Amino acid sequence: MNVTDAAYDTVHEYPGGSEPLAQRMGMSSATLRGKVNPNNDRNLLSLQEADALMGKTGDYRILHAMAAEHGFVVQRVDAPKSGNLIGALLAAASAKGELSQLIADALADGKVSANEADDIGRACAAVQAWIAQVGQHADAASERGGA
């Protein structure tokens, strides 16, 4: 999905449609619909408006579409609410082990299927998220002055 379609769908699939969303965005519904209309080349959604739109809807398909268009993936990484640095490190190691096993299984027959590639991609994202958690736990430990 491209960014334009993602913005259009975010607005038009919002519960209640563009009317209540436009009110929350502080603009008329006609203006909002015009900004996300794929056939409109004027008065486009600004970066700040796209950011506000995602924040108000909780729908991040614009962010995902933008990342995908540039060859990236986006995954939410929440700040640690519990656990510790060692636990996060062990969870990351476990996720890496699962990724390694998926790759070994996929290569067992000498070819990687589309489903196997999807599974590997999801496992890579999980490893990345856990590694980010390790860093966040380290920051939290530093702020606490201990482990």
Question: Where along the chain do its domains lie?
Answer: 3-69, 85-144
> So what's the pLDDT on residue 139?
85
Whether 78 shows a pLDDT value over 70: the answer reads: no
Residue 125: predicted pLDDT: 81
Alpha carbon distance 40, 31 (integer Å): 11
Minimum mean pLDDT among 28-32, 75-79, 92-96: which range? 75-79
Per-residue three-class SS string for the chain:
CCHHHHHHHHHHCCCCCHHHHHHHHCCCHHHHHHHHCCCCCCCCCCHHHHHHHHHHHCCCHHHHHHHHHCCCCCCCCCCCCCCCHHHHHHHHHHHHHHHHHHHHHHHCCCCCCHHHHHHHHHHHHHHHHHHHHHHHHHHHHHHHCCC
CA angle, residues 101, 104, 106, in degrees to nearest 5 = 110
With cut-offs at 50, 70 and 90, classify the pLDDT of residue 79.
low
Angle between helices 114-144 and 85-107 (to 10 degrees): 170
Give the separation between CA 59 and CA 102, rounded to whole angstroms: 30
pLDDT in tens, 56-73: 999 999 998 999 899 888
Q: At what angle do helices 47-57 and 18-25 cross, to 10 degrees?
A: 120
Give the model's confidence band at 44: pLDDT under 50 very low, under 70 low, under 90 confident, else very high: very high
Q: How many CA atoms, within 13 angstroms, populate the side-chain half-sphere of residue 128?
A: 12
Q: Which of 16-25, 84-93, 137-146 has the lowest mean pLDDT?
A: 137-146
Closest C-alpha among 103, 86, 99 to residue 127: 99
Q: Looking at the predicted structure, is the pLDDT value of residue 147 above 70?
A: no
